């Protein structure tokens, strides 16, 4: 009975955001290993890069779906994600040229942390 009154409406409201948050959590953990390699001057593994990008893309799509379902608060996450993705693309480009763009990696990760925390707030504080 208590589940039906309290937990069920909350789970219906935030389930897609919780899944997105879980995907971003795994992407962040993989991203830490990628950043560690960049700071050590080593090339990260292709599988790690693919996993990081893939999980982040699926998480982003889930956030976009939630915006189209009416959660307008998430536009801030989409705006941050555009910048994060652009930085990630620039990092990829510079890495393909043999550079180790440490400051860009820090900016990418820092903005990703901010975006993650905002998403977590929205996920656990439904409309």
Q: Is residue 6 part of a domain?
A: no
Query: Which residue range is the domain that position 38 belongs to?
Result: 11-124
Whole-angstrom Cα distance, residue 114 to residue 76?
10
Q: Quote the Cα angle for 27-99-33, to 5°.
A: 25
Question: 2 in a domain, yes or no?
Answer: no
Is 106 a residue whose pLDDT tops 80?
A: yes
**In this structure, is residue 5 part of a structural domain?**
no
Question: Tell me, what's the pLDDT at 10?
Answer: 54
Q: Does some domain include residue 1?
A: no
**Average pLDDT, integer, range 115-127:** 91
User: Total domain count for the chain?
Assistant: 1
pTM (two decimals): 0.85
- Segment 52-105, tens digit of pLDDT: 999 999 999 999 999 999 999 999 999 999 999 999 999 999 999 999 999 999
pLDDT of 126 reads: 77
- The vertex-119 CA angle with 46 and 71, nearest 5°, equals 120
Q: What is the pLDDT of residues 10-39, one digit of tens each?
A: 555 548 899 999 999 999 999 999 999 999
């Amino acid at each position: 009975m208590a589940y039906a009154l309290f937990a069920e409406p909350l789970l219906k409201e935030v389930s897609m955001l919780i899944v997105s948050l879980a995907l971003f959590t795994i992407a962040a953990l993989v991203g830490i290993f990628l950043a560690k390699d960049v700071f050590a001057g080593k090339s990260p593994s292709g599988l790690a890069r693919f996993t990081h990008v893939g999980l982040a893309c699926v998480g982003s799509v889930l956030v976009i779906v939630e915006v189209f379902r009416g959660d307008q608060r998430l536009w801030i996450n989409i705006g941050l994600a555009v910048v994060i993705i652009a930085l990630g693309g620039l990092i990829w480009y510079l890495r393909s040229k043999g550079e180790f763009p440490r400051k860009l990696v820090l900016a990418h990760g820092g903005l990703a942390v901010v975006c993650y925390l905002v998403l977590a707030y929205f996920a656990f504080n439904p409309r």
